Amino acid sequence: MSGGHGHGHGHAETDNKKIAILISILALLLAIAETAGKSAQTDAIKYNVEASNLWAFFQAKTIRMTTLRTAAETLELDEALAKDPEIKKIITKRIERWKDAAKRYDSEPETQEGRKELARRAKESDKKHKTALARYHHYEIASASFQIAIVLASAYVITTMVQLLWIALGLGGVGLIFSAIGAFAPHAFHLF
């Protein structure tokens, strides 16, 4: 072996170690992006189900409220026609109970289960769903960028085409950017 050949071999070995470290870092970033993406996806599903349940509860309260109001209005006609004071008194109490229940169905701040409170909670869950979904999409792009960067960095080791290394580094940067957007500004721009 000549001295020049040994020197070249040592340089290639050092480069390969650097690329191995780069690939390890990219793989770590990929794992983080994948984990964050799955978490965001799970949150998106959870908040979507929560919003759907709250809107269904809202609809049920609306139906109950409308039924009670209609029944109270009908009973008011019976009250107007009633001649017996005792019957009038019973009808009046029932009308008041039904109207009070209808008011509770519309707003019940202490339980957060009136229509107004349910609508507010459903809108909050829907907002959380959209944020989690936006995060998920950004993490998916980050993951794809890291995966392609790993493949290109690996290909560089075999081919020594420096362009592959530069593209791999660039895609690693893209992955970092999309990971940061997913974590800190998921609504900065929409891709899907």
Output the six-digit token pair for 16. Answer: 């390969």
Q: What is the pLDDT of residue 8?
A: 54
Q: Would you write out the chain's pLDDT as a tens digit for each of its 192 residues?
A: 344 444 456 677 888 899 999 999 999 999 999 999 999 999 999 999 999 999 999 999 999 999 999 999 999 988 888 889 999 999 999 999 999 999 999 999 999 999 999 999 999 999 999 999 999 999 999 999 999 999 999 999 999 999 999 999 999 999 999 999 999 999 998 876
Please give the pLDDT value at position 12. Answer: 73
| Residue 165: both structure tokens together | 């290394």
The pTM of the whole model exceeds 0.95: no
* Element housing 91 (H / E): helix 85-106
Please report, for the chain, the start and end positions of each structural domain, with discontinuous segments joined by +: 15-184
Q: According to the model, what pLDDT value does residue 5 have? A: 45
Measure the CA–CA gap between 50 and 146, rounded to whole angstroms.
Answer: 33
